[in-house]
Amino acid sequence: MRPLVVGIVNVTPDSFSDGGQHATPQAAVAHALALVEEGADALDVGGESTRPGATPVPADEEAARVVPVVAALRERGVALPVFVDTRKAAVAAAALAAGATMVNDVSAGLDDPAMLATAARAGAGVVLMHKQGDPATMQRAPRYGDVVEEVLAHLVARADAAQAAGVPPERIWVDPGIGFGKTFAHNEALLRALERFVATGRPVLLGASRKAFLGAITGRPVLERLAGSLACAARAAQAGVRAVRVHDVAATVDLLAVLDRVAPP
């Protein structure tokens, strides 16, 4: 089964790849609809950048960015799953009430103690991501004894916490957090070990699209990292990852369609 393609909709002025391009609700909705046309299986709507060095956004401002987009997509008849990318339970609750179906939390429910219970009450799924430190500081010399073992143990523990909070077990996903408090070597180790994460039995989401480690490998600036991003999507498919979170939906859909046809039985 090929990974689902989750299209990124950043309603932010400062995201690392496309900050400001879709910063108004109208522009974000238009972009989301274009991603649907390109073949996205789901959409991920976020109103706070979590790029390295980013500063937090107040909950009311973040909700004002994302909730109108989620509501407008439902009003336009978009039936795809919609993830809300947030660390704040209040934002998650408002977006879920507007029609979102999953919470994508880069803190795995740790930044806001109410997050897991909020998702559970709404019957929503969660994506629990690993990060080391906060976005503002996470790339300042991150260190691990064994990055794969530590990230894996963290995600297993957070998935157990989500289940204990009442989130349906089949709706608890994990994400190793490429680029979130990791060096280039850490990111490469996690990508090589994706099968370990899949083996937990939890659906795995991978977000590697256009990230800095691809620039380190290829020497390409952010907007020229399509080939590297597609290589990561292919690696995810090889490992059995459930979904890939990407900027370039059409190219990723094509890549996965071809891989699906030519893969050995």
Residues carrying an active site annotation = 211, 245
Cβ–Cβ < 8 Å for 36, 75: no
Give, as one character, the DSSP assignment of residue 222: G
Coil, strand or helix at 64: helix
Of 88, 79, 91, 17, the closest CA to residue 42 belongs to 79
Angle of helix 115-122 versus helix 147-164 axis, rounded to 10: 50
Q: How far does the chain reach from its first CA to its final CA, in angstroms? A: 11
Cβ–Cβ < 8 Å for 169, 148: no
Per-residue burial over 199-236, b = 16 or more CB atoms within 10 Å of its CB, e = otherwise: eeebbbbbbbbbbbbbbeeeeeeeeebbebbbbbbbbb
The tokens 């999507």 sit on which residue? 233
